[in-house]
Amino acid sequence: MKKDIIGLAGFMGSGKSLAGHFFEKLGAAFIDADEVVDDLYQQGNEGYRKLVNYFGDDFLKKNGEIDRKKLADFWFNDKHKLRIVNDLIHPIVTAEIQKRIDALDVSKIFLEGTYFKPEHLGRLVKDILWLATDKETLKERVVENGKMKEDLFEKILKVQEKPKDVTEEIDNNGTIDELYDHLKKWWDKRG
């Protein structure tokens, strides 16, 4: 079966997960790269082993789990450190996502991610759908709703980049119903 794999991209708070679950209801499959990373960071899994082998126990809690907050503080304060972590983790994330794609028996697959670099997630997708959302709306959704502190929001936003090879953009500065309307029109047009 030929698989049509579409990247769902956007800054944090842009509605990527909402879009992915919407497309699932239309019969597509949805893979969230963050969930894949979460799985890989579990004790004993490959991402966990790579981080511990490289950094020792610097990012472990007392119970042995990865301290995601400490890791985020480390990499979002320094682009060089972020690149080190990405170079360690992205190849195994891409390989795991490829396994999941291969195991799916559907023709349309949406892959939610932040970094669609051509050597990693970018090589898996045919097109990239960008959920365009202005900074004030993102901030309202993420900071003002209590999901994240403003300083961390600003640090993360600084390192997130729009992929260079976006195929199409969908505005998501409005309501959820407006987003769903835009997504349905895009879905119908794509066929």
Q: For 63-117, how does the pLDDT look when each residue is reduced to its tens digit (9 = 90+)?
A: 999 998 888 878 777 778 888 888 899 999 999 999 999 999 999 999 999 889 8
Query: Among all chains, which residue has been given the structure tokens 């409005």?
Result: 174
> Distance (Å, rounded) from C-alpha 92 to C-alpha 77?
23
pLDDT attached to residue 147: 79
Distances (CA, A) of 14 to 35, 42, 77, 114, 132: 17, 27, 22, 11, 7
> Distance (Å, rounded) from C-alpha 109 to C-alpha 7?
9
Query: Among all chains, which residue has been given the structure tokens 């396994």?
Result: 99
Structural domain for 131, as ranges? 4-190
φ/ψ region of 27 (left if φ > 0, alpha if ψ in -120 to 50, else beta) reads left
In this predicted model, what pLDDT tens digit does every residue of 16-53 receive, in sequence order? 999 999 999 999 999 999 999 999 999 999 999 999 99
Number of folded domains that form the chain: 1
pLDDT attached to residue 130: 97
Provide mean pLDDT across the span 124-150: 91
Q: Which residues pair with 112 in a beta bridge?
A: 8, 32
What CATH number does residue 85 fall under? 3.40.50.300
Q: What is the pTM of this model?
A: 0.90
> Distance (Å, rounded) from C-alpha 7 to C-alpha 167?
10
Query: Among residues of the chain, what percentage have pLDDT more than 90?
Result: 68
